[in-house]
A and B are shown apart, each in its own frame.
Chain A
Amino acid sequence: MKYAEHINSILKGLVASSDGLIIYGQNVTEGSRIGGLTRGLDTLMKGKKKMINTTNSENSLVGFGFGVMLGGGTAAFFMKQLDFLFLGIDQLVNTYNIIRNSGQAKGSFTIVPTVVDVANQGPHSSSNNFSDFCSMARIQGFTITNKYDAQKVLTTHFGAPGFRIIGVSHRFLKEDIFDPGVPVFTDKEVKLVQYKDGTDATIACFNFSFPYGWKLGQELEKLGKKPALWNVNYMTPIDWEPILISAKKTGKLVVIDDSNSENLSCFSLLAEARKLNLKKDVVITSKPVDNWFSPVSSVASVDYAKVARDIIS
């Protein structure tokens, strides 16, 4: 099953069992249906459920969702590209803070943007750091990178009271859903999920970098080492304690962040980890090319064998 199909099938289950929901956005019932994410949801709209194929009005669409939430309803706004959300930042910051300050947020509002993490899409793809948006108003934000996390993040947070953004990766949409199996640890809110428990190195993956971390883990295993592999689904600030305990045990920390921003979530973990006087830390981040603002390839080129050797040396 493809990544988009998997998310779509989870959404269908959630929509079918919901007793009141407004799903809206540009092209949610037309064309590709947001890369297939909203395909067929319109057939489940009965009673208090409604699906609206909207105008191109992102600021208003964000404000509209907050209005529905304020009115006690449940709103979900799907958007084709995260950068469209630039037009709604004023609402994300001012309106959300006003609502939080008033304590009136009885309903639910979820924005599901597709993070354009395929840089050859064009200039907007330099904004692939989902965390940047969330940090502006300390918005709860969750990324979806694999089969288990998709299920847990969506069933826990989609339609739940309050507001959050759930980021979907553009580059994964047509890929087979990545299936790392059942994790060894996950916190209640699915902020941190641990997929491997080992004693030789701790790997923490940020933004949509989990598949890179998984490959690095496999490379270490080829060398007879046991990595502890963590996926950070949530945007900072976060309680790093579970990862720090792991890093203290292994003495080595690798952070991987595939976002293009200068303001990376992984730096927050790194700052805490460096207080532990670890034997080694390795930072794998995106290196912008000279023409990073042009349509260029963004597929990460990681020499896993070299990194693995560096970790164990």
Chain B
Amino acid sequence: MYKQKIAEEIIRLRLSQMIVNEEHKKGQFKIPLHLAMGHEAIAVAVSEIMQDDDFLLPTHRNMAYNLARAGSLRPILHEYLLKPTGLNGGRSGSMNLLNPARGIVYTSSILGNQFPVAVGLAMAGKIFKKNRVTIVMGGDGSIEEGTFYESMLMARSLNLPVIFIIENNDWSMSTRIHERRSPIDLSLFAESLDIRYVHLEGNNPYLYVDVLKDLRKFSLENSVPVCVEVKVSTLGVFSFKTLEHPEGEPLHPHMGSTPAVSLDKGPMIEESEKDPVFVLTKLIGRPTMEEIARKQRAAIEKEIET
């Protein structure tokens, strides 16, 4: 039953984002949107391990996390359309979308601002003796900001249960890591601060849930931060023609819709471990995945009709 629920969530998040992508292609949104197709496994796992009192602070690319926490597309879609019926009454849009009732109390549109806010929240939790972990997300771009180093140091120095999860998708806007900086070995960095580090890769949601559950327990029981680096691929890379690249350059879908993805082709985007739906299909079998996808799509489309 648990495995079925996780599978349904992965596919629901994927199809919901594909629907947003299709709406974006039609020019329905006035606000910037950052799709996170390819981030579903870690998003579902994070949501799964969260307890009622836990906090989650995502980045501007928060779509998968908000979908996971909200449990439905409609209030999020309406928020993107800036309708009063949106999750935040149309006041937040996408990059700062919040859901305090489900733990998302802060979402940063600025690289790195979320890290110290998470440390402060954890401090308040400690003062008020809350049995809570604060989970803060970042990307391989945000770890270049000073706040990441400073916040890890503060969380360790103050002995606070914060789970730093770094989604490494290799891109910062349209620049790959090797195009902008030397590598950062997060395991060594975490070790230098005496912070436990875990690397996740492969998009197996069941494995991710097990690992994160253990880390949550460890962080809370010992009142210490932990650092998780998870390899993700933001799917939908497409060829973009510019003056410099008249034949087209493969670009990461940083913002807006991606023409490389179509809802009509089904939830799987790539037949590789980069795609959580592909990994899930290997785990549960194609007929089961397709049956879940059919039901989820019907349910989502019915939900957003009203």
Whether A and B are associated in the same complex: the answer reads yes
Interface residues of A (CB under 8 A from B): 20, 22, 48, 50, 52, 54-55, 57, 59-73, 75, 90-91, 94-95, 98-99, 101-102, 104, 107
Q: Do the beta carbons of B108 and A95 come within 8 Å of each other? A: yes
Partner of B107, one of A54, A55, A98: A98
B4 contacts the other chain (Cβ, under 8 Å)? Answer: no
List B113-149 residues whose CB lies under 8 Å from chain A.
113-125, 127-128, 146-147
Q: Does B251 reach chain A (CB closer than 8 Å)? A: no
B117 touches which of A20, A52, A72, A95 (Cβ 8 Å): A95
Contacts of B115 in A (CB 8 A): 60, 63
The answer to whether B128 touches A71, judged by C-beta atoms less than 8 angstroms apart, is: yes
B110→A90 contact, CB < 8 A: yes
Q: Are B116 and A64 in contact (CB under 8 A)?
A: yes
Closest to A95 in B: B113
Compute the total of residue contacts between A and B using a CB distance below 8 Å: 125
A55 and B150 in contact (CB under 8 A), knowing A63-B113, A95-B113, A102-B100? Answer: yes
Apart from A57-B146, A60-B146, A95-B106, 7 more pairs, CB < 8 Å: A55-B150, A64-B117, A64-B120, A70-B105, A72-B124, A94-B113, A98-B107
- Give every chain B residue within 8 A of A104 (Cβ-Cβ): 98, 100, 105
How many residues of B sit at the interface, in one of the four size bands? 35 or more
Does B120 contact A67, Cβ atoms closer than 8 Å?
yes
**Cβ-defined contact, A94 with B124, below 8 A:** no
In the complex, the answer to whether A91 meets B88 with C-beta atoms within 8 Å is no
Q: Is the CB of B106 within 8 A of A59?
A: no
Asked if B286 is at the interface (CB within 8 A of a chain A CB), the reply is no
Q: Of residues A50, A61, A63, A98, which shows the largest number of chain B Cβ atoms within 10 Å of its Cβ? A: A63
- Say yes or no: A94 contacts B109, CB within 8 Å: yes
* B-chain residues with CB within 8 Å of residue A48 when the two chains form the complex: 127-128
The residues in B between 69 and 104 inclusive whose CB is less than 8 angstroms from any CB of A are 88, 91-92, 96, 98, 100
Residues of B within 8 A of A69 (CB): 120
In the bound complex, residues from chain A placing their C-beta under 8 Å from that of B92 are: 101-102
| Distance from A222 Cβ to chain B, minimum over Cβ atoms (Å) | 53
Residues of A within 8 A of B107 (CB): 98
Cβ–Cβ contact A75 & B120, under 8 A: yes
Interface stretch among B28-36, B151-159, B169-177, B206-214? Answer: B151-159
Q: Name A97's closest neighbour in chain B (CB-CB).
A: B96
A63 contacts B116, C-beta separation under 8 Å: yes
